[in-house]
Chain A
Amino acid sequence: MRKAVNRMMTAVFSLAGWTAIIFIFLIFLFTFKETAGVLNAHTLRAFFLVDPPVWQPTSDVPKLSLLPIILGTLKATVVSLLFACPIGVSAALFSSEFAPPRLREVIKPLIELLAGIPSVVMGFFALMVLATWLQDAFGFTYRLNAVNAGVALGFALVPIVYTISEDGLAAVPRAHREASYALGATKFQTAWKVVLPAAAPAVFASFVLAFGRAIGETMILLMAGGNAAITSLSLLDPLRTLSATIAAEMGEVVVGSEHYAALFFMGTLLFVITFISNSGGQWVIKRMQRRLQGTAR
């Protein structure tokens, strides 16, 4: 009897596990298939080599350059990481190394609560409030720009960076700290020069996860980025990202058109970028861990 139940439950769980994998695989397959069907030298040229590089898919002469949109995605991602990584890691260092235990128990759930804010709410906040603050403070020409979008996105990334870094810092053995104190190091020296380097793989992992989230995030950027596909390196110009373009335009695109192809190509591009960043990240983390363990011995 127990054996039968055991076997049944194992079957149910593995079925559930496989369903998730199969779903991901099918979506993968679908996206790649839709993209492969339309991808050829002609469309690739239209996506990357069109001059001037503009995105005007519904014009009488459609112009489908992805360059301004890829640039926009990178700008938003870079700004958001520049904002979120230092804040997230500092907060993690503070709560794991400096904060009294009672305070720590308040900070941690509070910051993690930030992760629970729906991105549409964050986007709305950025659109209505943050954009005005930033414009009043810095006199930006454009209310909605890369800085505004990046900072709003950064808010969504802080909890990711914080949580994973904090877990990593907390997992550093007490012996490291005590050895450092025994050598006369201050609390700050210990945190900065001993604990943080020892937790480097976790901190790095948090950056990689944050990057993946930033690249794929849609709603915040759709609302706070201004959605103008401009080829410009300036962080003070509005931007349009890959994910926001898919969300805004997939609704009305003519199936099978070049515009449709471009949107699917964008989806595939997002897939590939996250795939590379994740596997690259994994590789670096493994190397770091090995090196750290090597020096510890």
Chain B
Amino acid sequence: MKLARIVCTLVVSLALAACGGGERQQTSTAASSSRSNKPLTIKGSDTMVILGQRLAEEYMKTHQGEVVQVNGGGSGTGIAALLNRTADLAQSSRPMKDDEKTKAKSQYGADVVEHPVALDALAVFVHSANPVQSLTIAQVKDIFQGKVTNWTQVGGPNAPIILYGRESSSGTYDYFREHVLSKEDFAPRVQTLQGTAAVINAVGSDRNGIGYGGIAYAKDVRPVAIAVEGAQPVAPSEAAVADGSYPLSRKLFFYFPANAPQRVTKFAQWAVTPEAQALVTKVGYFPLATR
């Protein structure tokens, strides 16, 4: 009995390993469509799950008979799924690494297409009652490396700083580590949560909390303005992302092999049409065309 439980745990984790994903099934499956097309399977970034789902819903509405399924799990998970052919298209909030591109080439016999679909501002969030309005990149780095542990050190109240972050399979984690921590390590005290929504929720209910994530998720928390050394702090807004003055903005990508079937390329091309880019804005990201 108890053994069976342990076995179950392991079976699940092994199964996850096998299918390359700690994915949470956040699917938007079309009700059995008239034509039984092979569904287009999209997997990847948790940051992009909402975006992917909205795009898929709209796409299925306007394109009769197409079925698109969107899963999360993290950018790395999505790319791994693309590499072992369990997904047709990977959503990623970080650029693919060179060794991943090489693997994709040997797996599919074609180069992988990097297809930006939206711009995102990576925001640093605090509780809405927190008086701290802006932080420099260096301060954020010190905070997440555990060198600054009290809000007084960055102009806030006398309270410990509680850190929330993402697990290591997340593209957001990678981006943050690379661009804010200059590839150094996070403090062990960072509580790693499953998905940006969980981080936002945690910061929203923790007065002393600080977390990071895609701006689209900001709800009941306040994104702080971010300053590069010696410059004015800039709040994450569409204008600031568009003109590049907000320091933590990034592209969100679709990845698929160049020789992918038409149903894949068709969807990817549709995703950058004005009609689809309007959805991008609606979900809370920034459309590509502005940059």
Central interface residue in B4, B189, B209, by most chain A CB within 10 Å: B189
User: Given the complex, which residues of A lie within 8 Å of B168, measured CB to CB?
Assistant: 57-58, 249, 252
Q: Is the CB of A222 within 8 A of B194?
A: yes
With beta carbons under 8 angstroms apart, the residue of B13, B74, B205 that contacts A132 is: B205
CB of B240 within 8 A of chain A? no
* Contact across chains for B188 and A251 when beta carbons are under 8 A apart: no
> Is B23's CB within 8 Å of the partner chain A?
yes
Count B-side interface residues using an 8 Å CB cutoff.
47
* A208 and B191 alpha carbons, distance in the complex (Å): 30
User: For A131, what are the chain B residues with a Cβ–Cβ distance below 8 Å?
Assistant: 205
Q: In terms of DSSP, what is the predominant structure of the interface of chain B?
A: mixed
Q: How far, in whole Å, are A237 and B193 apart by their CA atoms in the complex?
A: 15
* Residue B183, interface by CB 8 Å: yes
- Chain B residues with Cβ under 8 A from A278's Cβ? 2-3
Interface size range on A against B:
35 or more
Q: Is A59 an interface residue (CB 8 A)?
A: yes
**Interfacial chain A residues near B11, Cβ < 8 Å:** 27
Question: Which residue on chain A has the smallest CB distance to residue B186?
Answer: A56
Interface residues of A in 133-170 (CB under 8 A from B): 141-144
Contact of A218 among B9, B14, B76, B209 (CB under 8 A): B9
- B183: which A residues are within 8 A, CB to CB? 60
A251 in contact with B194 (CB, 8 Å): no
A213/B5 contact (C-beta < 8 A), A143-B205, A267-B13 known: yes
Query: Residues of B with Cβ closer than 8 Å to A?
Result: 1-7, 9-14, 16-17, 20-23, 73-74, 76-77, 80, 160, 162-163, 167-169, 183, 185-186, 188-194, 198, 201-202, 205-206, 208-209
**New A-B pairs, 13, CB < 8 Å, besides A228-B191, A247-B16:** A31-B14, A55-B188, A209-B1, A212-B3, A222-B194, A248-B194, A249-B168, A250-B14, A251-B21, A252-B22, A252-B77, A270-B6, A271-B6
What 3 pairs across the A-B complex have the smallest Cβ distances?
Answer: A212-B2, A251-B22, A252-B169
